[in-house]
Amino acid sequence: MTFERSSISMHYARTIAAAARRHGLDDQKLLADAGLDPTLVVATRGPRMTSEQFAALLLGYWRCANDEFLGQTRTPGKHGTFALMAKQAVNARNLRGVYRHISRFYDLFTEEFQLTLREEGNEAWFEMTLTHPQLDTDHLFTEFFLLLWHRFPGWLIGRFIPLIRVQVSYPRPAHGREYRLIFPAEVTFDQPRIALVFDRQLLNEPLVQTEDTLRNHLENAPLVWVTRPNFFPHYTRKVTNYLTHCLHTQHTLSQASMETAATELHVTSRTLRRKLTQEKTSFQALKDKVRQDLAIQLLNQPELTISQISQRLGFSDPAAFTRAFKSWLGIPPKEYRKSG
């Protein structure tokens, strides 16, 4: 696994398959065409799917059902609607213009949801209100489109949009642990509004993409939306790639340090520390993030023991891994595995 990619819960495959059955589609063929074994999809503790499989499943549903709203609304959103919106959005002046255009476009197109950009103090709120929230029983629509409203505008300005928080209007679902992989911020539940909240100053960021780059982006959608964005600050990206490489070549992160990373990047450790500070991160934070992502993936492989996973991640012993994992997700790894 690289920093740009991570595995995805089969919960989403089950939800899309259920939507397909409700609308008279062959869900078994839909899953098989995406490279998914239907017998493994229904297993509550089965393996996770790759980003490529999930993207193929989304695209297959859109084409078969002619519905970009994934069967979670009363009236479908015809396939191709997002692309039409995007071809107009790429001509906006800045991020503020992008969010305003998205809101206006879908307001003209559908009554299934409303989008609003609100500026309040130092914060920008991009809010979504569902007309029939009871139809989005597994929150697939909400989760996917919040992800889309975050990642596509970020791609347009050529940078990752740091989120202050994400708000949703429902209680924490059983698959709530996936939110740490979907959203790079705290998610608060049972809120009065569904919203992405970020620094208002980002609304002034100009667009860097063009109609030509958009064409390639859409050709690779939805895969580009369901994988981790790869436009991170320069040294953050380089250090993350180095740490990921360590996992694949040494099978451990124990030997990776600020000094070894600096040598690999042909800078002094002092310079690297300063650059990461300027990018509002640290070597340890990036190391923890790489460990966290891989830990989640490995814990979904039942044949691996906690001790083996701990060793693979470069911890001194299983107890150290347990303490770290609990600090990341709030529960120990054994409990996380049981809840899968």
- Whether residue 153 lies inside any domain: the answer is yes
Query: Are the beta carbons of 85 and 105 closer than 8 angstroms?
Result: yes
265 and 162 housed in the same domain: no
pLDDT of residue 228: 67
Query: Are the beta carbons of 199 and 124 closer than 8 angstroms?
Result: yes
- Whether residue 46 lies inside any domain: the answer is no
Question: How large is the average pLDDT for residues 298-325?
Answer: 88
Residue 76, pLDDT above cutoff 70: yes
Query: Residue 174's CB: how many other CB atoms inside 10 A?
Result: 10
- Whether residue 165 lies inside any domain: the answer is yes
**Domain stop point among 190, 207, 224:** 207
251 and 287 housed in the same domain: yes
- Whether residue 191 lies inside any domain: the answer is yes
Confidence of residue 46 (pLDDT cuts 50, 70, 90): low
pLDDT of residue 266: 92
Burial class (CB in 10 A: 0-12, 13-18, 19+), 39: exposed
Query: Are the beta carbons of 51 and 8 closer than 8 angstroms?
Result: yes
Return the closest-CA partner of residue 105 out of 165, 46, 153, 151.
Answer: 153
- How many Å separate Cα 46 from the centre of its chain? 21
pLDDT of residue 196: 98
- Whether residue 224 lies inside any domain: the answer is no
What's the domain range around 250?
234-339
- Whether residue 105 lies inside any domain: the answer is yes
191 and 248 housed in the same domain: no
Question: Which range has the worst mean pLDDT, 34-38, 95-99, 200-204, 267-271?
Answer: 34-38
Question: How large is the average pLDDT for residues 4-32?
Answer: 89
H-state helical runs in the chain: 11-22, 27-33, 38-41, 51-65, 81-89, 95-109, 140-157, 179-182, 211-219, 223-226, 234-250, 258-264, 269-278, 283-299, 306-312, 318-329, 333-339
Query: Are the beta carbons of 128 and 142 closer than 8 angstroms?
Result: yes
- Whether residue 9 lies inside any domain: the answer is no
- Whether residue 3 lies inside any domain: the answer is no
Task: Provide the domain count of the chain.
Answer: 2
Most confident of 47-51, 75-79, 208-212, 307-311: 75-79
202 and 302 housed in the same domain: no
List the CATH number of the domain containing 333: 1.10.10.60
Residue 81, pLDDT above cutoff 50: yes
Indicate the average pLDDT of the chain: 89
Question: Which range has the worst mean pLDDT, 126-130, 260-264, 285-289?
Answer: 285-289
Tens of pLDDT along 236-270?
878 887 887 787 665 566 778 999 999 999 999 99
Residue 2, pLDDT above cutoff 60: no
Confidence of residue 3 (pLDDT cuts 50, 70, 90): very low
Return the closest-CA partner of residue 331 out of 321, 340, 322, 319.
Answer: 322
The pTM of the full predicted model, rounded to 2 decimals, is 0.69
Question: Which range has the worst mean pLDDT, 84-88, 142-146, 290-294?
Answer: 290-294
